[in-house]
Amino acid sequence: MQQQRRLLCIILVCVFNVSSQAQVKPVKKGMTEWPCYGNDAGGSRFADIDQVNATNVSSLKPAWTYQSGELDTYVGNRAKEKAAFEATPIMVGGILYFSTPSCRVIALDAATGKQKWIYDPAINLKRDYSEITSRGVSSWPAIDDKSRSKNPRRIFVATIDGRLIAIDAVTGKAIETFGNAGTVDLKKGLGNDISVTSPPAIIGNLVVVGSSLGDNQRYDYPKGTVRAFDAVTGNLEWSWNPNPSDSTDPAWDTWTGEKGHKTGAANAWAVISADAKNDLVFIPTSSPSPDYYGGERIGQNLYGNSIVALRASTGKMVWYFQVVHHDLWDYDIAAQPMLIDVRKNGKNVPAVAIGTKMGHIFILDRLTGKSLFPIEERAVPSSDIAGEQAYPTQPYPILPAPLGTQQITDADAWGITEADRLEALNRIHQYSNKGIFNPPSFKGTLVTPGNVGGIHWGGMCFDKKQGLLVTNINNLPAIIRMIPRDKVAQLEKDDKDLIRSETGRQFGTPYVLKRDLLFKVDSGALVFQTKPPWGSILSIDVNSGLKKWETPLGYMLDTIKYKGARDWGSINFGGAITTASNLTFVAATLDNHLRAFNTSTGKMLWQYLLPASAQATPMSYKVNGKQYVIIAAGGHGKLGSKMGDYVVAFALE
């Protein structure tokens, strides 16, 4: 009976909406689409287009610019302080679809940038959200879903206030037959903390959604449940919890202590990948709450900080691989798992590449979860915090070799002048400094890499022709201090660095977290106290596991005042894309440029100064025979970069 009702619902949706909704049509000649956040459902971010190439990329010019009016939505509230325009548009059928930080969804003509419609979910921006961003939307049916080629297209957005909304792709109106008048309440059953910043995954007739939780303020956040909803009706099809609720689950005993199974988070806030051919979705999970103290959750904490392969049709686990045991460093898997093919023993092996904040890349067999390269389980430092039990070992990939800063030495102390360098050296000596996986301490611990990477949410991309993985990283050690709750006020009076530090209250534990970066302020400029580059872009041959090249990415200081600044790199958020013409495009930095690099060599070939900072990932498509490169340039409130509301399209003249 339930199956009959569902079939009837599908028929009714198709009949009564056929006049207003776009039908899924074959791709037109002269058009190459970008139908998912990462172009394909596996996040390769590879544009199979070669019109723009090394010989003509220097002629790229803005073809059109669109302004969303987003900054107007911040008037009368404090949203601008946290807002970040991090979206990557999708392009289907000649139409661009994207979301703004306040989750407004906008459709533009892909050739002209002319606005077709805006859907406003009316987010209450006076509420206190951990993040005010939306990295994109999703389109259903999937482009390669031949069985549903006659169904009307809809655009899905998951919002920062915990809603999943289905929108008519042509009219921009909510689809009344989905959920409750077009909306599924994601908070239902999980609580008001549920927020979503990433586009849902689409696989078959399912929309798969994780959640974003601000997980350093208390231990008992909601559990990071992943759910799959019927794309037509909005009915819940299955859910999966990274903190097991079944005592027969082998992971149950990896959460011990009085509050072990009351601990929350371990949520999937990054983009989820889908493999329709093999009926799999790949879930990137985060740290359990709170990030930096695990005394309430002693043990390995499976399936937190893991890549988990679920059977898409049922939600049942197929395999898992944990990249960090008992996380104490906020080492969420922030990047979308990337589905690629790797050449091994003369055969193509379907693989999944997991990039991590630690700068570790794990390349696993997509069907079994077994590593395609050697991994060692190594002993790591123990904790001196009462009540904490740091896990005794952690997994280290041998190949690809770890990226970025893994250990700070005296030789890494850096400054503009010799006096600045000595100041940096003295500061480094103040803290516990035992390399990666050194637990938080009362004294203060240098965490290398810090919580912004390594590889951050911008993730990785893949040149399918050359077998090259490209990623941009940060090289910024963090300083973590764990302070007994009753001593915080006095210590803040005595230590100016604690006052400027980010505070995690970690309610329900004995300690308060203080988090900072290793920097000083020079005439108003933020200068890091370890050797540059502070941000770089690099490539790895996935067949050999070897790094091919690495180069500084952007700059963040005045290049006139600081003569070497162009070689020092920049803190960066947002990823890169590759194209069939051996080009890599990336923005992400604080100098407001979009750049093109030679994918084979890492040589920069072109750069363009944008009207605002672009902490977002570009995309590229072809329409009417012309290739466009698109970037969202809207700035990042927390970083203090130049704000705006621009979508800029580049093309050859």
Show which residues are catalytic: 330
What is the Cα–Cα distance from 53 to 48, expressed in whole angstroms?
12
Reading the block at residue 436, the tokens are 């990666």
Q: How many helices (H) and strands (E) does the chain have?
A: 4, 40
Question: Cα dihedral angle (91, 97, 102, 104), rounded to 10 degrees?
Answer: -170
Pairing of strands 393-397, 201-203: unpaired
SS3 of 151-204: CECEEEEECCCCEEEEEECCCCCECCCCCECCEEECCCCCCCCCECCCCCEEEC
- Point out which residues pair with 178 in neighbouring strands: none
What is the Cα–Cα distance from 619 to 408, expressed in whole angstroms?
36
**Alpha helices of 429-577 — where are they, by DSSP H?**
488-494, 496-500
Reading the block at residue 475, the tokens are 């090289």
Contact 276, 203 (CB under 8 A): yes
Contact 631, 651 (CB under 8 A): no
- How many CB atoms within 10 Å of residue 72? 8
Reading the block at residue 290, the tokens are 């709170």
**Helix H or strand E segment including 311:** strand 306-311
What is the Cα–Cα distance from 437 to 439, expressed in whole angstroms?
6
What is the Cα–Cα distance from 648 to 143, expressed in whole angstroms?
25
**Residue type present at position 222:** P
Q: Which of 439, 440, 444 is CA-nearest to residue 429?
A: 444
Residues whose CB falls within 8 Å of the CB of residue 383, separated by 6 or more in sequence, listed in order: 328, 389, 390, 439, 440, 441
Three-class secondary structure of residue 433 per DSSP: coil
**Residue type present at position 158:** A
Residues 642, 645, 648, CA angle at the centre, nearest 5°?
100
What sign has the CA pseudo-torsion 48, 66, 199, 270? positive
Question: Cα dihedral angle (244, 248, 250, 255), rounded to 10 degrees?
Answer: 50
**Helix H or strand E segment including 418:** helix 418-428
Q: Which of 582, 639, 651 is CA-nearest to residue 86?
A: 639
- From residue 437, give the alpha-carbon distance in Å to each of 276, 326, 474: 36, 11, 17
